[in-house]
Chains A and B, each alone.
Chain A
Amino acid sequence: MDIAATCINDIIRQLEDPTILCDPAACRNLMAKVMNMIGRGVDVSNLSPHIAKLLAHPDPMVKKVACEFVCVQTEKSSDLMLLVVNSLLRDCSDSSPMTRGLSLRTLSSLRQESASEHILQAVQKGLVDHSSYVRRIAILSAVRLHRLSPDLVIEMGIVDKLYSLIRDSDPVVVVNCLLALEEILKDEGGVVINQKMVYHLLLSMPKFTSWGQAYVLTLLKKYTLKSEEETFDILNILDTHLQESSYSVFMHSLQLFLLYISTLPHLKEKVLFRCKEMFVSGLNSGNVELTYSIIVFIENFLDDSKSVFCECYKSFFCRFKEPPYLKIRKIEILPRLVTPHNFLEILGELRMYCSEVSSMVSFSAMKAIGQISKQDTDYFDRCVQKLEELLEIPEDSVWANVLQVFELLDLRSYARLDNLMQIICSKSHLQPTNENGCCANLFLIGEYGHLLDDSPYILEEFIGNYLEECPDVIRTYLLTAVMKLFLMRPAKCQHLLGRLLEVCVASRNKDLNSKAYNYYYLLKQGPEFAKEIVLNKRFSH
């Protein structure tokens, strides 16, 4: 017998022991063990009949856990239902609202169609209960019942009852009604929201919990405004919710606001400006998951209302303790926030991230600098120079990453290109160990290698040392590099190209093979034609 089964037998034995049953503390302890086992995914269905008895236990805590057990297990043992229904129905009339609520919740969670009549009875009673706690549960229990037998809910007029409860004095009851109707009437488009209700809900907003407010604001999106006058009326009320202490309420208000002014697009940026403080404090909240979610939300506005966020660019700077995924997300946004005014500061900040311990973070910072360089010719030289500085860091991975960024840039206009190529061609780094870095390196030699006298020798040496062990990707890059260099410096590269083409044509790799044949063909057409095709291919578009 395995351990779990022994455990269960042990629990059963204790549950049959009257001294333990009379001791609430011991009973609670036992229940904690059971819940623990459920959490771990142990099959506890053998316990069902024993736990069912505990529904009548005098200790409310034990009763609660027994109910929790029933909710979880109801599908696994259909006999369980028969054991518990009567006891739960009895408790639905208990004098304590807590017990009434608990048993109603449990009863309606019995996912067995044969229970629906009982549930209906209890729900109907619960909807008119004088305790708001019970009403709250009864409303959502009606949705549970609807899932079990939809027709029953519709036929018995529960929908009307729910509509009338929207006027209830308890704010949670009101919100639950809306949510329940939205779900029950899903096929017909959900709860119907008319003008009267919109005003009623908006004016009751302060009474709702912040979650309730968020739900209501979401539902209000369904309402289409009738007139301009009404629009401004409603916007005025909504406006107060744009400065909330809860970010979900803020976000939902903002979304609703923007939806209502979608016909007045000139207002959008103004509204966002008003919300700037909320965004900034959210970004500085120190809650990393929240910061991340707010950034994702902000990304929706970056295309057309960038200026709002360009002003608070500092809020997008990384903090040391933030997890890499958040840093990377922030870094990816920064290039979009660059203005002539903050350019240097953002560049300096990104430069700092380039020496992060996490190479994914540092790589994305390098890529971001590359992005910025493309935005404006004024930025270009400074950005490339910053990247060039990074090459001095004696770290192979940094080297490889910087070269990959260079690969994506058109460096022809860079003032210090000669010097840069000198550094890049310091031979010791050209090794196939880092595949991406090596490819980028070869690419750069092909593209700009004609500026240096000794680039053919570097390639020659590389071929001599590593060609045998090179993976095909690197060989493809190598072939292109040699081809380009040959077209610029035919005399020095002829023998290299010849040797390489021979190897590549014999390769079984399709890409490499077809590339080699392609080059053969181009060369046959004459060097001018080949130059036209090979050298001008990249940056001409």
Chain B
Amino acid sequence: MYISEIFITTTQGDVLIDKQYRFDLTVDAKAIFLNKLRNVGSDHLLPYFVQDNLTYCHIKRNGLYIMVVTSCEISPIFLVEFLTRFFHICKDFCGIVNEDAIRANILLIYEILNEIVEFGYIQLATTDKIKPYIQSDPVLVLANRSPAEEIASRLFGIETRVAPSSASSKPVVRTAAEQENRKNEIFVDVIEKMVAVVNADGLVSRMNVTGNINVKSFLSGNPVIKLALNEDLTLREQSHPKDFGSHVTMEQCSFHQCVRKEDFNDSRCLVVHPPIGEFSAMTYRLASDPPLKPPFRLQVYEREQESSSTDTSLSLQLHSHIPENTEAVNVILRIPVPGTVTGISQQLNGPDQIVEFKTSNKQIVWKIKKFPGSSFLTANIRLISHSGIKTRLKDIDHVVMEFEASGYTCSGVQIRYLRVFDRDQAYVPYRWIRYITVSDSYIFKL
């Protein structure tokens, strides 16, 4: 039940960290792993494989492979969960976890590795429990915009007007010196991820929303906080089946162990005793029926052309149904086209947009920097075909959309108030409450 080695490598195969716990491996596990990676490619490298009686398990985050090797039979769920935990602890200490951050904090990472696992057995794996044993101070690395996987951090990148963009990449764990001149801030983010398939007629054929209330507390003294959610929020098991209305219905929700659930049942309040580090106080899944109105809709028309031409003219209209005072950013539409298309030309009706044609995977990519709520955008795209075969609209099967809608939750979950119970009342806490809905997989069928 023990693990033998943990190592971190970049996708290029540079080993950044290598920690042996048992010195019992007779083979070079790193070389075997990297070799495997080269052979099958990152798209098809399974998170878990067994080779020569050794089990290799990894998670891939921000261009890094975090890898564990063991000669025991251990379930992949256990290993993956542990690696994920390790990643979050590193994130709590270093702010962000990427190649630069690891290089800059190499000693810190070794310290963490020494405390969370002893002789291959996992010991402590929460940030606050490890904190007392860590000596080194984190070295901050300036983050580029974090990749898509880290939604929580992305949030900070968007709303530069209200919070400094580097806030997310600050470590949660602070040194004593810092503690004194640090602002007393608390960040509460309501993040909803949406999986949806929208039919050509605008009806939703499938929708699935998972939400997460993420808390990151920099309050000194770790006071208890109280979060009040919408009062009209109902849980599926409690609500009457025929009970339609404007309220939010959740299929299921679960809480972090530091949350007192009793208050939630009575008054929809979360009383939280925040631990050190970033954590999700509550996760929930929205009921899939009655379906929500889709926040975006796409209409595609084929425009008439002189019959001799083998080109096809498409008109794309993207409608936003999110409230007027909100906006979606970093919107990307990916339109896969058949191999007969050799080029495109386009005409757009607004600034801050581009349409590109990726020949390598035959995709048209329409990027929109900012897309205000309750408006629409049009793109006219001409598909040029040199092969003499005209592309028909029905050869385009679906369009994938990516977006980040800030200030908006598709479910309507809201935080009515956030109270900080600071016994000494020594400071006025800065409270940042933010909402965001992001696409996990948002597809228009044509």
- Chain B, residue nearest A250 (CB): B77
Chain A residues with Cβ under 8 A from B123's Cβ? 136, 172, 176, 209, 211
CA distance A109 to B17 in the complex (A): 19
Known contacts A209-B124, A317-B206, A393-B395; A352 and B443 CB within 8 A of each other: yes
Q: In the complex the two chains form, is B23's CB within 8 Å of A75's CB?
A: yes
> Is residue A466 contacting chain B, with contact meaning CB distance below 8 A?
no
Which of B77, B122, B148 has the largest number of chain A CB atoms within 10 A? Answer: B77
Offer 20 A-B interface pairs, CB within 8 angstroms, sorted by A: A32-B106, A36-B106, A39-B106, A105-B118, A137-B118, A140-B119, A179-B1, A179-B2, A182-B1, A218-B1, A248-B81, A281-B252, A289-B83, A317-B206, A352-B197, A352-B398, A355-B336, A357-B363, A394-B339, A394-B340
Question: Which of A1-9, A230-238, A321-329 contacts its partner?
Answer: A321-329
Q: In the complex the two chains form, is A323's CB within 8 Å of B43's CB?
A: yes
CA distance A348 to B14 in the complex (A): 43
User: How does the 8 Å CB contact mask read for A321-340 relative to B, with 1 for contact and 0 for none?
Assistant: 11111000000000000000
> Which chain B residues (413-446) contact chain A, with CB distance < 8 Å?
440-443, 445
Q: In the complex the two chains form, is B210's CB within 8 Å of A144's CB?
A: no
> Is residue B365 contacting chain A, with contact meaning CB distance below 8 A?
no
Chain A residues with Cβ under 8 A from B7's Cβ? 39
- Chain B, residue nearest A179 (CB): B121
A-B contacts counted at CB < 8 A amount to 197
Going nearest first, the 10 A-B pairs with the smallest beta carbon separation are: A319-B441, A293-B76, A289-B47, A320-B441, A211-B122, A248-B78, A140-B119, A61-B135, A355-B397, A293-B77
Chain B residues with Cβ under 8 A from A395's Cβ? 338-339
Which of A31, A284, A297, A317 has the largest number of chain B CB atoms within 10 A? Answer: A284
Chain B residues with Cβ under 8 A from A297's Cβ? 75-77
**Shortest Cβ distance from residue A74 to the other chain B in the assembled complex, whole angstroms:** 9
Contact of B257 among A40, A218, A245, A289 (CB under 8 A): A245
**Shortest Cβ distance from residue B394 to the other chain A in the assembled complex, whole angstroms:** 8
- Chain A, residue nearest B60 (CB): A289
Query: How many chain-A residues does the 8 Å CB contact rule pick out?
Result: 81
**Shortest Cβ distance from residue B343 to the other chain A in the assembled complex, whole angstroms:** 16
Known contacts A28-B107, A293-B77; A215 and B121 CB within 8 A of each other: yes
Known contacts A284-B285, A357-B361; A172 and B206 CB within 8 A of each other: no
CA distance A205 to B394 in the complex (A): 58
> Is residue B58 contacting chain A, with contact meaning CB distance below 8 A?
yes
Chain B residues with Cβ under 8 A from A209's Cβ? 122-126
Contact of B210 among A60, A75, A277, A284 (CB under 8 A): A284
Chain B residues with Cβ under 8 A from A357's Cβ? 336, 361-363
> Is residue A392 contacting chain B, with contact meaning CB distance below 8 A?
yes
Chain B residues with Cβ under 8 A from A286's Cβ? 193, 210, 440
> Is residue B16 contacting chain A, with contact meaning CB distance below 8 A?
yes
> Is residue B165 contacting chain A, with contact meaning CB distance below 8 A?
no
Which of B123, B339, B361, B395 has the largest number of chain A CB atoms within 10 A? Answer: B123
> Is residue B317 contacting chain A, with contact meaning CB distance below 8 A?
no
> Which chain B residues (106-157) contact chain A, with CB distance < 8 Å?
106-107, 110-111, 114, 118-119, 121-126, 133, 135-136, 148
- Chain B, residue nearest A63 (CB): B135
User: How does the 8 Å CB contact mask read for A371-407 relative to B, with 1 for contact and 0 for none?
Assistant: 0000000000000000000001111100000000000
**Shortest Cβ distance from residue A41 to the other chain B in the assembled complex, whole angstroms:** 7
CA distance A334 to B1 in the complex (A): 33
Q: Apart from A287-B80, A292-B48, what 18 extra A-B contacts exist at CB < 8 Å?
A: A35-B107, A35-B110, A40-B14, A64-B135, A176-B123, A183-B2, A211-B125, A281-B254, A287-B59, A288-B47, A293-B47, A297-B75, A321-B441, A323-B43, A349-B206, A355-B398, A392-B394, A393-B338
> Is residue B400 contacting chain A, with contact meaning CB distance below 8 A?
yes
CA distance A24 to B44 in the complex (A): 45
> Is residue B315 contacting chain A, with contact meaning CB distance below 8 A?
no
Q: In the complex the two chains form, is B283's CB within 8 Å of A281's CB?
A: yes
CA distance A15 to B48 in the complex (A): 42
**Shortest Cβ distance from residue A128 to the other chain B in the assembled complex, whole angstroms:** 18
Interface residues on B, range: 35 or more
Q: In the complex the two chains form, is A39's CB within 8 Å of B340's CB?
A: no
Known contacts A245-B256, A394-B389, A395-B338; A319 and B440 CB within 8 A of each other: yes
* Chief secondary structure at chain B's binding surface: mixed
Which of B75, B124, B195, B252 has the largest number of chain A CB atoms within 10 A? Answer: B75
Q: In the complex the two chains form, is B23's CB within 8 Å of A251's CB?
A: no
* Chief secondary structure at chain A's binding surface: helix
Residue positions of A touching B, CB distance < 8 A: 28, 31-32, 35-36, 38-41, 60-61, 64-65, 68, 72, 75, 98, 105, 109, 111, 133, 136-137, 140-141, 143-144, 172, 176, 179, 182-183, 209-211, 214-215, 218, 245-248, 251-252, 277, 280-281, 284, 286-290, 292-294, 296-297, 314, 317-325, 345, 348-349, 352, 355, 357-358, 360, 392-396
- Chain A, residue nearest B84 (CB): A287
Which of A32, A137, A183, A395 has the largest number of chain B CB atoms within 10 A? Answer: A32
Chain A residues with Cβ under 8 A from B441's Cβ? 318-322
Q: In the complex the two chains form, is B110's CB within 8 Å of A111's CB?
A: no
Known contacts A36-B106, A296-B76; A140 and B15 CB within 8 A of each other: no
Chain B residues with Cβ under 8 A from A41's Cβ? 15
**Shortest Cβ distance from residue A171 to the other chain B in the assembled complex, whole angstroms:** 11
CA distance A247 to B254 in the complex (A): 13
> Is residue B325 contacting chain A, with contact meaning CB distance below 8 A?
no
Chain A residues with Cβ under 8 A from B122's Cβ? 209, 211
User: How does the 8 Å CB contact mask read for B218-262 relative to A, with 1 for contact and 0 for none?
Assistant: 000000000000000000000000000000000010101100000
Q: In the complex the two chains form, is A321's CB within 8 Å of B440's CB?
A: yes
- Chain A, residue nearest B82 (CB): A211
Q: In the complex the two chains form, is B77's CB within 8 Å of A277's CB?
A: no
Chain B residues with Cβ under 8 A from A281's Cβ? 252, 254, 283, 285
> Is residue B18 contacting chain A, with contact meaning CB distance below 8 A?
yes
Q: In the complex the two chains form, is A64's CB within 8 Å of B76's CB?
A: no
Chain A residues with Cβ under 8 A from B257's Cβ? 245
Contact of A39 among B15, B75, B148, B394 (CB under 8 A): B15
Known contacts A136-B118, A320-B442; A360 and B44 CB within 8 A of each other: yes
- Chain A, residue nearest B73 (CB): A218
> Is residue B200 contacting chain A, with contact meaning CB distance below 8 A?
no
**Shortest Cβ distance from residue A155 to the other chain B in the assembled complex, whole angstroms:** 21
CA distance A245 to B361 in the complex (A): 40
CA distance A233 to B247 in the complex (A): 42
Chain B residues with Cβ under 8 A from A105's Cβ? 114, 118
Chain B residues with Cβ under 8 A from A68's Cβ? 110, 114
- Chain B, residue nearest A141 (CB): B119
CA distance A211 to B118 in the complex (A): 13
**Shortest Cβ distance from residue B441 to the other chain A in the assembled complex, whole angstroms:** 3
CA distance A320 to B445 in the complex (A): 13
Known contacts A38-B18, A325-B44, A360-B44; A64 and B125 CB within 8 A of each other: no
Chain B residues with Cβ under 8 A from A64's Cβ? 107, 111, 114, 135
Contact of B78 among A61, A251, A284 (CB under 8 A): A251
CA distance A355 to B440 in the complex (A): 19
Known contacts A38-B18, A60-B135; A292 and B254 CB within 8 A of each other: no
Chain B residues with Cβ under 8 A from A140's Cβ? 118-119, 121
Chain B residues with Cβ under 8 A from A325's Cβ? 43-46
Q: In the complex the two chains form, is B256's CB within 8 Å of A290's CB?
A: no
Chain B residues with Cβ under 8 A from A245's Cβ? 254, 256-257
> Is residue B374 contacting chain A, with contact meaning CB distance below 8 A?
no
CA distance A355 to B398 in the complex (A): 8
CA distance A145 to B205 in the complex (A): 62
Q: In the complex the two chains form, is A176's CB within 8 Å of B121's CB?
A: yes
Which of B78, B440, B445 has the largest number of chain A CB atoms within 10 A? Answer: B78
Contact of B18 among A39, A65, A280, A396 (CB under 8 A): A39
Chain B residues with Cβ under 8 A from A293's Cβ? 47-48, 75-77, 79-80
Chain A residues with Cβ under 8 A from B395's Cβ? 392-394
CA distance A36 to B44 in the complex (A): 30
Known contacts A60-B135, A61-B135, A320-B442; A394 and B338 CB within 8 A of each other: yes
Chain B residues with Cβ under 8 A from A289's Cβ? 47-48, 58-60, 80, 83-84
